[in-house]
């Protein structure tokens, strides 16, 4: 039965099958990591898998990102993802949709802290990715929202990408027409934000 299951997984998802034989990097994010509006093989998460392979890291990448997801949704589905994939590293890229909905920053921070703790309890190392929201939400809220990621990182001692779209969001030719999602040309730049903070958490 186990052999049949592995054969099925390999046929349906080579990525998941590979994860069963080595260590896994689990990405839990929203549309920025789900590859919204671009081909999946162009997304920064797919590029991460390619770079890990090319540089000799024995890690598979599992992308558990869902367009439109919030920290509440991520927290609800994280325990099952941890149980199924048993990741060595968890990259948390959530919060942007919470901010765009104007949700209280205290709740967003609490959700992210819970996700970090759950990941660590499972034995995984954690990388947190921070976001900002447009200034039209008001200076008090936008400041509190941006700072909540640093508060989580500082209190739980996890590495942080301060702003995922730094050098991307306001640059011509790097965003899709909706003004919210990076295009395919921006995906290597997203990976470049993550890579220097991720590699200290990995081993060859």
Q: What amino acid positions are annotated as catalytic residues?
A: 31, 178, 181
What's the CA gap between 181 and 38, in Å, rounded?
10
CB-CB neighbours of 114 under 10 Å:
14
**The two three-digit tokens of residue 33, written as one number:** 């990591």
What's the CA gap between 149 and 127, in Å, rounded?
11
**The two three-digit tokens of residue 6, written as one number:** 């592995």
CB-CB neighbours of 121 under 10 Å:
10
What's the CA gap between 139 and 149, in Å, rounded?
17
User: CA dist 8 to 4, 11, 60, Å?
Assistant: 6, 5, 18
DSSP code for 135: G
What's the CA gap between 160 and 154, in Å, rounded?
9
Q: Cα torsion for 120, 148, 99, 94, to the nearest 10°?
A: -20
């Amino acid at each position: 039965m186990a052999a049949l299951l592995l054969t099925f997984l390999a046929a349906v998802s080579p990525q998941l099958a590979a994860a069963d034989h080595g260590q896994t990097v689990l990405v839990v994010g929203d549309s920025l990591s789900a590859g919204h509006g671009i081909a999946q093989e162009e997304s920064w998460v797919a590029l991460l898998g390619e770079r890990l392979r090319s540089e000799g890291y024995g890690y598979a990448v599992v992308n558990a990102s869902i367009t439109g997801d919030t920290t509440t949704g991520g927290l609800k589905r994280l325990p099952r993802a941890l149980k199924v994939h048993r990741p060595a590293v968890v990259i948390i890229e959530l919060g942007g949709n919470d901010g765009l909905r104007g949700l209280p920053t205290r709740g967003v921070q609490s959700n992210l802290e819970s996700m970090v703790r759950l990941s660590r309890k499972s034995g995984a190392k954690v990388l947190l990715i921070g976001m900002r929201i447009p200034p039209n939400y008001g200076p008090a809220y936008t400041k509190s929202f941006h700072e909540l990621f640093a508060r989580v990182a500082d209190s739980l001692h996890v590495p942080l990408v301060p702003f995922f779209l730094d050098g991307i969001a306001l640059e011509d030719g790097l965003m899709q027409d909706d003004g919210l999602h990076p295009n395919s040309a921006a995906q290597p730049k997203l990976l470049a934000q993550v890579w220097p903070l991720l590699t200290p958490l990995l081993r060859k």
